[in-house]
A and B are shown apart, each in its own frame.
Chain A
Amino acid sequence: MYMESLISFIVTEYNYSAALILIMIGMYGMIAKNNLLKKVIGMSIFQSAIILFYISIGYKGGASIPIIKHGSGMADHAAIDPTLYVNPLPHVLMLTAIVVGVATLGVALAILQKIYRVHGTIEEDEILESLKE
């Protein structure tokens, strides 16, 4: 019974499972990889997996893009049916998250270049060794 519901979750709500798999890949990259640029790539994968999760939450079956059709919605026309448009709120939150994400990615890469300039390497174990000396 429990296995059945699990399998039906993975098959029918594949967007959630894709987000989970990408979160796991990103987390593995952030923790296990030795190279700092690989860690940054893992962080970006983690971030876009979370964005995928939010966008999945805002999706409505049978709806259209969140731009009001011309001519509907003003006072003298018929009221707008909310089931016809997907939820715009997660889109707004994630749109700013992407742009802030690239700005913070720039800061991470700048720190990475600075580390390379000081230590001559971006491998984590070699940096730790050069710090001990």
Chain B
Amino acid sequence: MKRLTLFLVVLLGAYLVWTTQDLPDWGDPASPANSYLSTHYIKKAYEETSVPNLVTAVLADYRGYDTMFETVVVFCAGLAVLTILRRTKRKHKKNVKFRPQREGVDIILQNAARLMIAPMQLFALYVIAHGHHSPGGGFQGGVILGASFILLALAYDLKSTLRRFKENTVLFYSGLGVLIYAGIGVISLVLGGNFLAYAAWGGLLGISEVEAHSYGMLGVEIGVAFTVMAIMFSLYLDLASGGDLDEGL
């Protein structure tokens, strides 16, 4: 079996090497992938959206519809994990052989976590809000925000974390993010533009259409950050406790 697999994998590698003979030179500015659409984005994105970070501009504006459904995929994955693992009573306790044991309380870890969590959350908010001008955006900021709650649950136990940030609240935020994203699209539809065409917001907010693109992007990034933060924390809750939310790692 292993030899057959190795043979198949080497065959695949040889085939891929053969096909890559036709690839353009690495780093060629005139290669097909760097020629048509991306040239338009680089030339026009700053003029059309007033956002210097091209990745954010393309992600949240030109490909906003795509990003909305990526957010929905993250949301659905969180719901799938909840459906698979979540249980209210521990019925199969005898099957869980290697359950992690908490050995006492680590005072160094707890104090370090107490010092670190607030700066982490502040940095996450900065990443979300400043994603237009520097690397960052809703996805990265949301993950860092979720990681700060995971750190809280790792340093202290799961029960006291859940008392501060209840599971229902986590799921509410995950739905709220998708709602904010889709809501911004629907409101721009009501204001007379296309779905997720932020230029229509200009009249409502009293700003130019180019600036409205920038503000619309900030709105959808906040929505993305809510969903990603809530789903990352929810994934940790279910996977670390085995679904019963009794004790974490």
Query: Is there a direct interface between A and B, measured as CB atoms under 8 Å apart in the complex?
Result: yes
Q: Which residues of A contact B (CB under 8 A)?
A: 5-6, 9, 12-13, 15-17, 20-21, 23-24, 27-28, 31-32, 56-63, 65-70, 73-75, 79-80, 82-83, 85, 87-92, 95-96, 99-100, 102-104, 106-107, 109-111, 113-114, 116-117, 120
Q: What is the CB-to-nearest-CB distance from B49 to chain A, in angstroms, rounded to a whole number?
A: 11
Most buried by A among B1, B58, B135, B231: B58
B47–A110 contact, CB under 8 A? no
Find A107's partner among B57, B58, B70, B84 (CB 8 Å cutoff): B84
Q: Which A residues touch B2, using CB under 8 A?
A: 32
Most buried by B among A13, A83, A92, A107: A92
Once the chains are docked, how many angstroms separate the CA of A121 from the CA of B58? Answer: 45
Q: Which B residues touch A62, using CB under 8 A?
A: 29
Encoded as 1 (CB less than 8 Å from any A CB) or 0, chain B from 7 to 26 comes to 01110110011001101011
A27–B12 contact, CB under 8 A? yes
Find A88's partner among B55, B66, B78 (CB 8 Å cutoff): B55
> Per DSSP, are chain A's interface residues mostly helix, strand or loop, or mixed?
helix
Q: Residue B215 at the A interface, CB < 8 A?
A: no
B85–A80 contact, CB under 8 A? no
B47–A73 contact, CB under 8 A? yes
A87–B33 contact, CB under 8 A? yes
A82–B28 contact, CB under 8 A? no
Q: What is the CB-to-nearest-CB distance from B32 to chain A, in angstroms, rounded to a whole number?
A: 9
B21–A9 contact, CB under 8 A? yes
Q: List 12 A-B contacts (CB under 8 A).
A: A23-B12, A24-B10, A32-B5, A65-B135, A66-B55, A82-B39, A88-B38, A102-B232, A103-B231, A103-B235, A106-B81, A117-B96
Q: Residue B59 at the A interface, CB < 8 A?
A: yes
Q: What is the CB-to-nearest-CB distance from A23 to chain B, in angstroms, rounded to a whole number?
A: 7
Q: What is the CB-to-nearest-CB distance from B14 to chain A, in angstroms, rounded to a whole number?
A: 10
Q: What is the CB-to-nearest-CB distance from A16 to chain B, in angstroms, rounded to a whole number?
A: 6
Q: What is the CB-to-nearest-CB distance from B217 to chain A, in angstroms, rounded to a whole number?
A: 13
Once the chains are docked, how many angstroms separate the CA of A106 from the CA of B243? Answer: 13
**Ordered nearest first, which 9 A-B pairs have the shortest CB separation?**
A103-B77, A61-B27, A88-B54, A106-B235, A73-B46, A32-B5, A68-B52, A66-B54, A96-B70
Q: Residue B239 at the A interface, CB < 8 A?
A: yes
Find A61's partner among B29, B52, B96, B97 (CB 8 Å cutoff): B29
Q: Residue B41 at the A interface, CB < 8 A?
A: yes
A32 (CB) vs chain B CBs: closest residue = B5
B38–A87 contact, CB under 8 A? yes
Q: Which B residues touch A65, using CB under 8 A?
A: 135
B43–A79 contact, CB under 8 A? yes
Encoded as 1 (CB less than 8 Å from any A CB) or 0, chain B from 208 to 226 comes to 0000000000000000000
A54 (CB) vs chain B CBs: closest residue = B33
Please give 8 more A-B residue pairs, beta carbons under 8 A apart, in addition to A13-B25, A100-B70.
A9-B21, A67-B54, A73-B47, A75-B47, A92-B58, A96-B67, A110-B238, A117-B95
